[in-house]
């Protein structure tokens, strides 16, 4: 038994399923999760000394690579002065200024501690601002594990084959309306039936929790027009796409400005963080400026703020050019291998996020994503893992490319993929 196996057996006695988040389990691909000891750049090392090229990237925030010197220095400088004050501190002000300067839809912001918390708070704010109760979400989009959002979610819920989660009450879910992704007619029908009750439409403008599935540009522009006409708010969940696809997120990429935006991942540089922001008139409804209550003891934690600020300052124009080139090179290489091996497969990419579906057509919604051959993905996943490439352990998850994925790492990945595909 390896040390990793021994540690995982201990973990099974301590944690549900041996993990502290379902997406870390190998439930949909089989086998035992690797227990990681350390990471640097684009590579992980497990407790048994095995090395892997990493495409999980802590599920997105490690856009600069693991243990980037600038980020580590920022954390070390900060930690020498304390880890949490429960009062305002300079790093939260500086990070907020950086985010607002880049994100077109954000005029004011409130930091929280997770993407789930950001979504919960944004929806509460939308309901207060509109005086309405219902929220429209899209099948396959994951917006955290708050009760009202665990309805036809993707990601870990899809991996576990749970359309909803036990423990979510009917009362919690009955104000959540669901439409297929990229289906404007379905949204219009919901507004025809419930228009006076709909407070907000929330969407991942580029879905990352059913694999990478970009929204149609016309669809997003139509949602912007429809919500404005019907007195509802448009919320972009950019927890994944914020600072991933462009410096201004998916909203800058598509030229669509939402009323509210939720953020996470990159703005913490690997530390726990979330945020929601939007128009000043909306954000000024939040306490203490307004009466919409939301609070958090560790919100704006100086360590997370310092790590996030250091990360954002690394993301200049040259960084985005490098991320785009590396990601496109990986996408093209995988597409070439799929054609050469003769099997059906589609590689979908947005910025430095991508995913491989074993299917013979582009994936536009959750129905398409579920139709992909996930058993084949599981075999491919293990083939890559054996060859030193650690992918997300689910066909419903995005792969993340970082600034540290150089040509050598991409070449190693493609060599491993050629071998793994040949053995399927």
- Domain limit, last residue, from 285, 314, 343: 314
- pLDDT for 163 equals 41
Per-residue pLDDT at 256 exceeds 90: yes
3-state secondary structure of 278: strand
Do 126 and 222 sit in the same domain of this protein? yes
d(CA 369, CA 354): 14
The b/e string for 100-123 (b: 16+ C-beta within 10 A; e otherwise) is eebbebbebbbbbbbbbbbbbbbb
Q: What is the mean pLDDT of residues 73-102?
A: 96
- Residue 143 is classified by DSSP as -
- φ/ψ (deg, to 5) at 136: -95, 125
Q: Could you report the per-residue pLDDT of 297-338, keeping only the tens digit for each?
A: 999 999 999 999 999 999 999 999 999 999 999 999 999 999
Query: Would you please indicate which residues are annotated as catalytic (active-site) residues?
Result: 142, 237, 265
- pLDDT for 174 equals 80
Per-residue pLDDT at 372 exceeds 90: yes
Per-residue pLDDT at 238 exceeds 50: yes
Residue 181's CATH number: 3.40.640.10
d(CA 137, CA 140): 9
Residue 418's CATH number: 3.90.1150.10
Do 304 and 320 sit in the same domain of this protein? no
Per-residue pLDDT at 117 exceeds 50: yes
In sequence order, which residues have a C-beta less than 8 Å from that of residue 209 and are 6 or more positions away?
140, 141, 142, 153, 154, 155, 158, 240, 396, 397, 398
Do 54 and 187 sit in the same domain of this protein? no
Its domain, for residue 282, covers 69-314
Q: What is the mean pLDDT of residues 105-129?
A: 97
User: In this predicted model, which residue has the larger pLDDT, 6 or 160?
Assistant: 6
Short-list 248, 252, 294, 251, CA closest to 274: 294
How far, rounded to the nearest angstrom, does the alpha carbon of residue 153 sit from its chain's CA centroid? Answer: 13
- For the chain, how many structural domains are there in total? 2
Q: Strands, E, within 161-284: which ranges? A: 176-179, 198-203, 206-207, 213-214, 233-237, 260-263, 274-278
Strands 134-138 and 176-179: parallel
Q: Could you report the per-residue pLDDT of 355-371, keeping only the tens digit for each?
A: 999 999 999 999 999 99
Do 94 and 231 sit in the same domain of this protein? yes
Q: Could you report the per-residue pLDDT of 373-405, keeping only the tens digit for each?
A: 999 999 999 999 999 999 999 999 999 999 999
Do 269 and 388 sit in the same domain of this protein? no
Q: Are 254 and 83 in contact (CB under 8 A)?
A: no
Do 310 and 325 sit in the same domain of this protein? no
3-state secondary structure of 379: helix
Does the bond joining 288 to the residue before it have cis omega, within 30 degrees of 0?
yes
3-state secondary structure of 387: coil
């Amino acid at each position: 038994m390896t040390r990793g196996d021994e540690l995982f057996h201990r973990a099974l006695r301590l944690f549900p399923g041996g993990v502290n988040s379902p997406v870390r389990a190998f439930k949909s691909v089989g086998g035992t999760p690797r227990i990681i000891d350390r990471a640097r750049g684009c590579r992980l090392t497990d407790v048994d000394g095995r090395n892997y090229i990493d495409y999980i990237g802590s599920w997105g925030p490690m856009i600069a690579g693991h243990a980037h010197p600038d980020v580590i220095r920022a954390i070390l400088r900060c930690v020498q002065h304390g880890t949490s004050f429960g009062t305002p501190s300079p790093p939260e002000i500086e990070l907020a200024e950086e985010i607002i300067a880049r994100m077109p839809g954000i005029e004011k912001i409130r930091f929280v501690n997770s993407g789930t918390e950001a979504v919960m708070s944004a929806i509460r704010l939308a309901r207060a601002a509109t005086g309405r109760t219902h929220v429209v979400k899209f099948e396959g989009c994951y917006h955290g594990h708050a009760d009202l959002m665990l309805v036809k979610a993707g990601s870990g819920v899809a991996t576990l084959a749970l359309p909803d989660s036990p423990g979510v009450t009917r009362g919690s879910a009955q104000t959540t309306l669901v439409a297929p992704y990229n289906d404007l007619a379905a949204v219009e029908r919901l507004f025809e039936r419930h228009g006076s009750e709909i407070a907000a439409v929330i969407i991942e403008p580029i879905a990352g929790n059913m694999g990478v599935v970009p929204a149609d540009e016309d669809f997003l522009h139509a949602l912007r027009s429809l919500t404005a006409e019907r007195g509802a708010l448009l919320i972009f969940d950019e927890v994944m796409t914020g600072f991933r696809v462009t410096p201004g997120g998916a909203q800058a990429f598509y030229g669509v400005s939402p009323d509210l935006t939720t953020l996470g991942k990159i703005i913490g540089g690997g530390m726990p963080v979330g945020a929601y922001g939007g128009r000043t008139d909306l954000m000024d409804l939040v306490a203490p400026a307004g009466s919409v209550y939301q609070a958090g003891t560790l919100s704006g934690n100086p360590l997370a703020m310092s790590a996030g600020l250091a990360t954002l300052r690394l993301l200049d124009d040259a960084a985005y050019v490098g991320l785009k080139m590396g990601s496109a090179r990986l996408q093209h290489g995988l597409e070439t291998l799929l054609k050469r091996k003769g099997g059906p497969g589609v590689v979908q990419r947005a910025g430095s996020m991508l995913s491989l579906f074993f299917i013979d057509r582009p994936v536009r919604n959750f129905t398409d994503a579920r139709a992909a051959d996930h058993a084949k993905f599981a075999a491919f996943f293990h083939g890559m893992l054996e060859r030193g490439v650690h992918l997300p352990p689910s066909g419903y998850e995005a792969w993340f490319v970082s600034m540290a994925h150089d040509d050598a790492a991409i070449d190693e990945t493609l060599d491993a993929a050629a071998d793994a595909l040949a053995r399927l």
